[in-house]
Amino acid sequence: EELAHQARRVVAYPAERVVLDLEHMDSPSSDAVDVLANSILAALRYGQDVVLVRCPEELYRSLRQSGVRAEIQHAASLTAATQGV
């Protein structure tokens, strides 16, 4: 429930880019993947760019299976994702 709350806050925040550091989400539950996928899709619908930082390959595959098919940017660090801002 906390993840869902935080995800809604991220998407609702008026920004051009949503940056998600996923380094520590090695094996999330299917519910967590669904919440994350829905948040990413909502951000894309609002016209926000989505950048996944250090996203594990398994998680990325799970997101794709959950419907995230759009062009998503990947970055190796928060600095790279935010261009140092």
Residue 13, pLDDT > 80, answer: no
Higher-pLDDT residue of 81 and 71 is 81
3-class secondary-structure state, position 16 = coil
Give tens-digit pLDDT for 28-74: 899 999 989 998 998 898 888 999 999 999 999 999 999 998 888 99
Please enumerate in sequence order all residues whose Cβ is within 8 A of that of 21, keeping only pairs 6 or more positions apart, or say none. Answer: 53, 54, 78, 81
Q: What is the pLDDT of residue 52?
A: 94
Tokens of 79: 């600095």
Neighbours of 46 (CB within 10 A): 12
pTM of the predicted model as reported, rounded to 2 decimal places: 0.81
Report the Cα 55 to chain-centroid distance in Å. 9
Q: How do beta strands 17-21 and 73-75 pair?
A: unpaired
Tokens of 63: 């997101």
